[in-house]
Chain A
Amino acid sequence: MSTLQKTAPPATPPQAGPPRRTRSQALRGTLSALPLLPPLALVVVAFALFAPNFMTGTNLENVLVASSIVVVPGLAMTLCITMGEFDLSIGATVALTGAVTCTYIRDGHSTAVALVAGLVVGLLVGIGNGLVVAKLGVTPFIATLASMVIVRGLARVYTDSRDVIVSDSTLKYLAAGRPLGIPFPVLLAILATLAAMYVAYRTRFGRWVAAVGSNRDAADLSGLPVDRVRIAVYALIGLAGAVWGIIISAQLQKGSGNLGLGFELDAIAVVVIGGTSLLGGRASIIGTVLGALLIGVIHNGLNLLDVPPAYQRISIGLLLVAALAVQAIRRRVPLEVLDDNKN
């Protein structure tokens, strides 16, 4: 009977591999947004050359304000996409919450109460989405699609399909006021970004959101409160949608059931173009902010060039598709894996 030779004794003591620099997740997320800077610069230069009045102080401030308004919902959507899901109903939430706030003001309530009402409605929509998705087990894509339809319908019913015109100074301040010399939306965006970075990278909740997106099965097995995390994220989106709706209504000085059409494309585009992967697990907060800037610049430049909004959507649509094509080609994913079944 032959005996096997024993394996040779270890040749070298255990190797640790090359020493790695300590990197925080925040740094990683920020670095992944760097590829966005060249296109941003390019677009700014192009518009500076070809669009009239692009480089004026007023216009640049407009760009900043417009971008800032998209930042808040973009950040909330970043969390959702990091979790591996997305919410199509945010545009409808914009309409409903704007309508509610304006209606309260028109009916004589104080602005503060009106604002709270709007925020609460947004929160409820978000929680509703979260419950349907987490507890009833409906796929997020369909659930938020249906929610979009319902909420928009609700908005139209609530306003009786008529615009709710208001003229309120506090509301105006939200859109055009300048606390500390900075336009309010910009201030809000800065605060929201700081808060988002904190939540995403330094709280347990933020890490759990990334965990759920990174490996859903492992998250279940590790005992993470996956349902609660999901509901919370959708609630945040609802809240962000409310903020968006209130500010837009403040700008337009009216609430309407037709507000926010197509906004979900902007919200998702901002996140995806900013570098956060649709597959989940990795949040890039700075990326979303840069993405918002890019989209804001594009919208602004095209407006100055008198391009109708429909064409502007084409460009965003194409940009989105292009950004993803580049991502996917670089990853060389085989076709069979690229299904949306997981959604």
Chain B
Amino acid sequence: MSDSVLLGIDGLTVEFPGVKALDDVSFSVRPGEVHALVGENGAGKSTLLKVLGGVNTPTRGTVELDGHPYRPSRPRDAQDAGIAVIYQEFTLFPDLTVAENVFVGREPHHRVTRAIDYAAMRAECREIFAQLDVAIDPDARVGDLSVSEQQLVEIAKSLSVDGRVIIMDEPTAALASSEVERLLEVVRRLRTRGRSVIYVSHHLEEVFAVADRATVLRDGRYVATLDIAQTTEDELVRRMVGRDVGSVFHRERIEPGDVVLELDRVRAGRVLKDASLEVRAGEVVGIGGVAGAGQIDLTQAVFGAVPLRGGSMRLGGTAFAPASPAEAVRAGVGFLHEDRKQAGSLPDMSVEHNLTMTVLDRLRGTARLLSGRKQRVVWQTYRERMQIKASGPGQLISNLSGGNQQKVLLGRALAPGGHLLVLNEPTRGVDIGAKSEIHQLVNELTAQGVAVLMVSSDLPELLGMSDRIVVLSQGRVVGRLEGEDATEENVIACATTGRRIGVAA
């Protein structure tokens, strides 16, 4: 491995209104190297990938590829330059075959008859797959393949265009453990063939299994580039977190009351197989685990958005099996969705209309029409309580900052005044100020006796705000962490390796 530089990033800054996603980031990637990119949520990794992939333009800074300036203005430019980004959401055509996907837009064809040369495509596909030591049928329909096989098709695509830098964004998020090993083998083979790989992942054991160096980002800034052979996972974690967990989030525990929510061997959705837990009044129970471990299924089952396939639930002591979110709302469950943009805010509507959506039936006035005054009261109450910064009740929600939007949606979840609050990634995409305000609000709510179930991939938040932590892995509870057991290492261990803590094997 030489010291030469293939990809040089210098002073890269990306600013969005109100937020600096990347702040003066500089590092370099060598040819034929597997370079990991690590950092927590919000560290800026995905923004960096979008810049390299030609989706976003940087506000400041330069990128150089092989000594020449690299300034893609659209994704096609990145492809032409040999930079292939494999996003979590694949750029594949489910109805086309593997070979057609790999060669899309560049299909070899006979000059005269314009017929596609399927034989040539199949042959080259087989060759690429042989290089990667995997066997995938070039004529298989991509939509029929497993996620891990689809991922391999994406990789094959990037090899077929002679990609020099292959960037993988959380590649193992949807893979089973045997498939993960296959992927790591493929990454090693890519390196053997002289490609560079930028490997973005939360799974540090993968980073240590396959990477040569790792660059750590934190809060949009560059922290360090470490040689994997000369560092440890703990060191990496320390650089990623960079602060004492517990000092930022100030959880005020109270003595928990009666049991509000009980889950008994619940099976729901596509992943969740067996989960039992309980949440008491005044308690915050945090749920941890890698993406796809079943947290979403769990919270959506509680909210009636996915049906129960096994097990049972009780709310306030009585059997609870909501058939729809509407039923859950009526039963007094408040819910905050993790995807604010797709399933949280109602984009064309005002903040007041967004906020009052869950309590419309209570805001009627004369002649069964909605009372403007009552709506205003609700708006004012929550605006003050949560310090929502908006120019007025009629402002479009999409014009608010992420943090304020989240507050509005939180208000919407709270408005019915229920006893159970289910939060999914409550501070994702939210600035520091609003983050602490939201946490303060959770404290107030629990002081009033509300039970809180919180899913969070933000480890400091999970550890700082939860009274107890339940860790899921592959649809089952593998960790129940309390008190001294509630450490980062334990959460990561349970989540990524399936180690059991506080749970019978």
Contact = CB atoms under 8 A, between A and B. Distances in A.
A and B touch in the complex (CB under 8 A): yes
Contact of B96 (A11, A17, A20, A214): A214
A276 to B, nearest CB: 11
A339 to B, nearest CB: 14
Interface string B84-99: 0000000111111100
A4 B499 CA distance: 10
Contacts of A7: 177, 180-181, 205, 209, 497
Contacts of B369: none
A10 B116 contact: no
B367 interface: no
A312 interface: no
B76 A223 contact: yes
Contacts of A282: 95
Given A14-B182, A215-B92, A281-B93, A222 B105 contact: yes
A211 B99 CA distance: 13
B95 A12 contact: no
Contacts of B234: 1, 3
A5 B95 contact: no
Contacts of B489: 1-2, 4
Contacts of B92: 215, 218
Contacts of A202: 115-116, 118
Given A202-B116, A223-B79, A25 B97 contact: yes
Contacts of A280: 95
Contacts of A213: 95
A20 to B, nearest CB: 4
Interface in B481-505: 489, 492-493, 496-497, 499
Given A22-B137, A223-B79, A204 B95 contact: no
Given A7-B205, A16-B135, A221 B96 contact: no
B141 interface: yes
B140 interface: yes
Contacts of B141: 23, 28
Nearest to A336: B343
B91 A15 contact: no
Contacts of A5: 497, 499
A221 B137 contact: no
Contacts of A207: 96, 100, 104, 107, 116
B96 A14 contact: no
B493 A214 contact: no
A28 B97 CA distance: 11
A295 to B, nearest CB: 25
A342 interface: no
Interface string B232-252: 111000000000000000000
Nearest to A277: B95
Nearest to B134: A14
Interface in B48-75: 75
- Interface residues of B toward A: which range? 35 or more
A4 B114 contact: no
B109 A16 contact: no
Given A19-B137, A215-B94, A223-B79, A203 B232 contact: no
Contacts of B492: 4
Contacts, number: 118
Contacts of A10: 178, 181-182, 185
Contact of B91 (A1, A19, A22, A222): A222
Nearest to B141: A28
A210 interface: yes
B448 interface: no
A11 B178 contact: yes
Contacts of A11: 178
B116 A210 contact: no
B177 A15 contact: no
A204 B94 contact: no
Contacts of B97: 25
Contact of A204 (B75, B107, B185, B232): B107
A221 B75 contact: yes
Contacts of A22: 137, 139
A308 to B, nearest CB: 40
B235 to A, nearest CB: 10
B133 interface: yes
A16 B182 CA distance: 10
A211 B136 contact: no
Nearest to B142: A214
A265 interface: no
Interface in A1-57: 1-7, 10-12, 14-17, 19-20, 22-25, 28
A117 interface: no
B381 interface: no
A224 interface: yes
B124 interface: no
B146 interface: yes
A152 B499 CA distance: 71
Contacts of B139: 20, 22-24
14 contacts: A2-B489, A4-B205, A12-B178, A22-B137, A203-B114, A207-B100, A207-B107, A211-B100, A213-B95, A215-B93, A217-B91, A281-B94, A281-B95, A281-B96
Given A23-B140, A215-B91, 20 more contacts: A3-B232, A4-B205, A4-B496, A5-B499, A7-B205, A7-B209, A10-B178, A10-B181, A11-B178, A12-B178, A14-B134, A19-B137, A20-B139, A22-B137, A203-B109, A207-B96, A207-B100, A215-B94, A222-B104, A222-B105
- Leading 4 A-B pairs by shortest Cβ distance: A281-B95, A16-B135, A214-B93, A214-B95
